[in-house]
Amino acid sequence: MTDVGAEHLSAASEQPRLFHVIDPRVFDRRLLDDLCELATRVRRIAKSREGALYLQNLLPTRRAMLYFTQPSTRTFLSFNNACHILGIRTSEIRDPSTSSEVKGESFEDSIRTFSSYVDVIIMRTREPGRAAVAARLMDSIPRPVPVINAGSGSDQHPTQALLDIYTLDRSFAERGGIDGKVIGMMGDLKRGRTVRSLSYLMKCYRDVRLVFIAPAPFAMQPDVKAHLAEHGIEFIETERLDDVLPELDALYVTRMQSEWDIAGESRSVDIRRFSVGPAQLARLKPDAIIMHPLPRGPEIDPAVDADHRAMYWRQERNGMWMRVAVLLTIFGLDQEVRAADFPADG
């Protein structure tokens, strides 16, 4: 695992506080709180036409490359639209067969080429660690541009973790925030990069307890558990949702990541035991929330969508605002937007 990007975090307000976004472990509580606050600020500013035009004029000379060679709907669209909200123009490669990689160009040369034309590279790959390689390459060339990891194999998905934190933070705003909450993560915890990245951010909150609910072969990996132990974050593991359901303040559901199967091992799982439907809703606290990074499979019954505790559609939209906040912070405009003269509520 790399700590690339950490050296770019700086307390000095004139220096951008973020450069590359590769590994969620570089975030601290202050930066998370600031990003959440900024996301809310932007969301409110964007409500008026005047505010939306103000945002669109913040970065009209900047260009972004969306290099997504692994399937994506939400992450691609939310980054694309986050760029457009700020006036950033976008180019994209989504199909590697249309890039010069088919002519044998190396990954490194392709990334360096993107950096010749744009001001930020946002990338998703099937292989783990690629965004970190791209960031290290950028740090070695004369005109580096920031690299944002939009999902690297089954390894990390830092901006999803940020939008998940934003969703938890908003949901618990009237109840003391994320501190002290019991957060369940359920499903394919072994190969799900979202729950891996989110677990890492839990070290920024006090007295959080994690409950990992997974079929034994798909339990949370030892590297994440070691990180939690090192930071004194309490967690338990179980295969029985029923035993823990009434204790949870949040239940983060994930799908089986069957695209990583070698011999159809996902099919051996009885997904009904790791699913939420009306029976589970009846036992969940009235003020608990249900999250899911989407896309969903059968693990959340569509009947749950109408329940006030279903947070995943709001979570999806929160992703766009959080990505606007990330881009503003990378380009050093976070303080300006914070100070902008717009009504606090719109």
Strand order in 120-125's β-sheet? 89-93, 63-68, 120-125, 147-152
Examine residue 197 and tell whether it contacts ligand NCD (CB under 6 A).
no
Omega cis (within 30) before 295: yes
Distances (CA, A) of 118 to 28, 64, 201: 28, 5, 30
Direct distance between the N- and C-terminal alpha carbons of the chain, in angstroms, rounded to an integer: 42
149 lines the binding site for ligand NCD (CB under 6 A): no
For residue 109, which amino acid is it? D
CB of 29 to ligand NCD, least distance (A): 24
Going by C-alpha positions, the residue among 212, 192, 217 that lies closest to residue 202 is: 212
293 touches ligand NCD by CB under 6 A:
yes
CA distance 112 to 120: 12
The answer to whether 158 contacts ligand NCD (rule: CB under 6 A) is: no
Q: Which is nearer to ligand NCD, 169 or 316 (CB)?
A: 316
Strands 250-253 and 234-238: unpaired
CB of 143 to ligand NCD, least distance (A): 29
**Quick one: residue 176, left, alpha or beta (phi over 0 = left, psi -120 to 50 = alpha)?**
left
The whole-angstrom separation of Cα 56 and Cα 58 is 6
Determine which residue in the list 69, 80, 115, 160 makes contact with ligand NCD, applying CB under 6 A: 160
Pick between residue 16 and residue 192 the one whose CB is nearest to ligand NCD: 192
The partner residues of 185 in beta bridges, in order of sequence, read 212, 252
Residue 43 found at the interface with ligand NCD (CB under 6 A)? no
Report d(CA 337, CA 334) in Å as an integer. Answer: 5
Token pair for 208: 């959080």
Q: How far is the CB of 183 from ligand NCD (least distance, A)?
A: 17
Active site residues: 74-75, 103, 124, 157
According to the binding rule CB under 6 A, does residue 199 interact with ligand NCD? no
Q: Does 157 bind ligand NCD (CB under 6 A)?
A: yes
For ligand NCD (CB under 6 A), the number of binding residues is 11
Q: Is 194 in the site for ligand NCD (CB under 6 A)?
A: yes
Which residue number is nearest to ligand NCD in terms of Cβ?
Answer: 293
- Which of 75, 171, 197, 275 is the binder for ligand NCD (CB under 6 A)? 75
151 binds ligand NCD (CB under 6 A): yes
DSSP string, 45-111: HTTSHHHHHHHHTSSTT-EEEEEE-S--SHHHHHHHHHHHHTT-EEEEE--GGGSGGGGT--HHHHH
Q: How far is the CB of 336 from ligand NCD (least distance, A)?
A: 29
CA contacts within 13 A on the Cβ side of 260: 16
Q: Should residue 224 be labelled a site residue for ligand NCD when binding is judged by CB under 6 A? A: no
CB of 75 to ligand NCD, least distance (A): 4
Q: Does 190 bind ligand NCD (CB under 6 A)?
A: no
Residue 294 near ligand NCD by CB under 6 A: yes
When binding is defined by CB under 6 A, the residue of 29, 63, 74, 84 that contacts ligand NCD is 74
Out of 41, 190, 193, 196, the only residue in the binding site for ligand NCD (CB under 6 A) is: 193
When the beta carbons of 201 and 333 are compared against ligand NCD, the nearer one is 201
- By CB under 6 A, name the binding residues for ligand NCD: 74-75, 151, 157, 160, 193-194, 254-255, 293-294
